[in-house]
Amino acid sequence: MNKVLLIIQREYLTRVRKKSFIIMLFVVPALIFVMGVVIKMVAENSDKLSSLQTVNVIDKSGSFANKFHDVTNVKFTYALTDLKSSKLLLKDSEGISILYIPVNYMQKDSVQIFSKKKASIPLSEEIEKQMSDIAFSNNLISHHIDTALLSSIKRTNISVNAIEISDQGDKNANIGPNILIGIACAILIYLSLFIYGGQVMRGVIEEKTNRIIEVVISSVKPFQLMLGKIIGVGLVGLTQFSVWIILSVISTKIAGHAFSSPASPMTNALAVLQTIPFGYIMGCFIFYFLSGYLFYAALFAAVGSAVDSETETQQFMFPITMPLLFTYILSVSVLFRAPDSPLAVWLSMIPFTAPVAMMVRIPFGPPDWQVAISMCMMVIGFLFTTYVAARIYRVGVLMYGKKASYKELVKWFFYKE
């Protein structure tokens, strides 16, 4: 046991004393903050056109003549020439488009936009919106309905506030913040499993290449070496996350004092965040980070022991990382919309996919028995993968110059002590 502790100490101190580790502690939160600001600014302006676009309308149906209205950076004109002649004019201008409306414009994809460059999404959306409104208005008139009266009636926008009934009473469900937190936790776990698992794999390859590992295993068993290396790197990751969480809490507190006005959006956002059970979510995050890391790091260590260079790892890495990548894509596209669906429940039970899938579900309060089964499966899963990886690792670290295959790994697994 003392030997394992010494290996853990060496792996931990070697990494946390590096300048790059200390710099990344502060650089990564700053980069995330800057990226968030940039994404917000880009998102706010993504639906706006940056330059004037002129749309020449060729209306063969006669239903849209003189009914388009100009908006910011979009000007509508009506072409007096046919489509063929108008298209010739486009060769010398990038800010002009032709909107061709045929007689049978109700057919799918019959309305076309011609331009020298690909038409932007905001321009297409503006044209579709105005055409839909005009077509609707034409239908009302054909049914002898007074469009002026309808236009004078103000549309009522109704928002629904989701309330969750719990043993402690009714409370706001906060669906939006829960989605953001669930996806953020899933992305962090997905990235951390690759980053720290990759560090374990590269460390094994480096020691094997330098033949240092031959000296080390003359004093300790291969399993002790693998276990110490995995735990040491895992503690480095835990240290990094702890510092980032502390910095996030401090910056949130500072922002709360800086924007203490009751009407401030920041104040409202902080008030919403205070209603979310961060203690429960952080506890689950630490468990799934550690169990997921131990599960995958053991496999990465086994892969590192089976090869002589990092370029040879691809054939083994692909099947290991596919379930994680598959779950990540589903998490940011499907699972957060249906956190209690059968697909989400099954993915949160399988150890290969549970660390990412369950963290998407945790903010939505899945049943306790599902969380308990998922955690038990993770513990069983990493014990099993550690056992399998250790049997491959003990043989692989002493194999040189021999290209490993899956058949070879099976042989190594069944070798007797």
Examine the domain organization and report whether 183 and 330 are in the same domain. yes
Examine the domain organization and report whether 100 and 212 are in the same domain. no
3-state secondary structure of 112: strand
pLDDT digits (tens, 9 = 90+) for 232-245: 888 888 888 888 87
Examine the domain organization and report whether 389 and 280 are in the same domain. yes
How many C-alpha atoms does 19 have within 13 Å on its Cβ side?
0
Residue ending a domain, among 79, 103, 119, is 119
Examine the domain organization and report whether 107 and 204 are in the same domain. no
Q: How far is CA 395 from CA 3, 18, 225, 307, 387, in A?
A: 20, 31, 13, 11, 13
Q: What pLDDT is stored for residue 262 in this prediction? A: 57
369: Cβ–Cβ under 8 A, 6 or more apart, which residues? none
Examine the domain organization and report whether 213 and 359 are in the same domain. yes
Residue ending a domain, among 100, 119, 138, is 119
Examine the domain organization and report whether 352 and 233 are in the same domain. yes
Examine the domain organization and report whether 313 and 219 are in the same domain. yes
Examine the domain organization and report whether 384 and 254 are in the same domain. yes
Residue ending a domain, among 81, 104, 119, is 119
In a domain, 228, yes or no: yes
Q: What pLDDT is stored for residue 272 in this prediction? A: 61
User: Could you tell me how many helices (H) and strands (E) the chain has, helices first?
Assistant: 15, 6
Q: What pLDDT is stored for residue 252 in this prediction? A: 67
* CA–centroid distance for 365 within its chain: 20
- Tokens 């993968």 belong to which residue? 385
First to last CA, the chain: 20
- Domain range spanning residue 393? 176-414
3-state secondary structure of 341: coil
In a domain, 167, yes or no: no
Examine the domain organization and report whether 196 and 70 are in the same domain. no
* CA–centroid distance for 21 within its chain: 24
Q: What pLDDT is stored for residue 376 in this prediction? A: 93
Q: What pLDDT is stored for residue 417 in this prediction? A: 65
> Measured between alpha carbons, how far is 276 from 293 in angstroms, rounded to an integer?
26
In a domain, 161, yes or no: no
Q: How many structural domains is the chain composed of?
A: 2
Spans of the chain below 70 pLDDT: 1, 40, 42-50, 164, 166-174, 252-253, 255-276, 417
In a domain, 4, yes or no: no
> Measured between alpha carbons, how far is 280 from 167 in angstroms, rounded to an integer?
17
In a domain, 277, yes or no: yes
Alpha helices in 143-221 (DSSP H): 147-152, 175-209, 212-216
Examine the domain organization and report whether 230 and 349 are in the same domain. yes
Q: Is the pTM of this model over 0.85?
A: no
In a domain, 156, yes or no: no
> Measured between alpha carbons, how far is 83 from 111 in angstroms, rounded to an integer?
13
CB of 79 closer than 8 Å to CB of 151: no
> Measured between alpha carbons, how far is 347 from 354 in angstroms, rounded to an integer?
6
The CATH number given to whatever domain includes residue 75 is 3.40.190.10
In a domain, 314, yes or no: yes
In a domain, 162, yes or no: no
3-state secondary structure of 136: helix
Examine the domain organization and report whether 103 and 182 are in the same domain. no
Token digits for 19? 């300048």
CB of 123 closer than 8 Å to CB of 53: yes
> Measured between alpha carbons, how far is 323 from 385 in angstroms, rounded to an integer?
15
Examine the domain organization and report whether 275 and 386 are in the same domain. yes
What's the one-letter identity of residue 408?
E
How many C-alpha atoms does 52 have within 13 Å on its Cβ side?
6
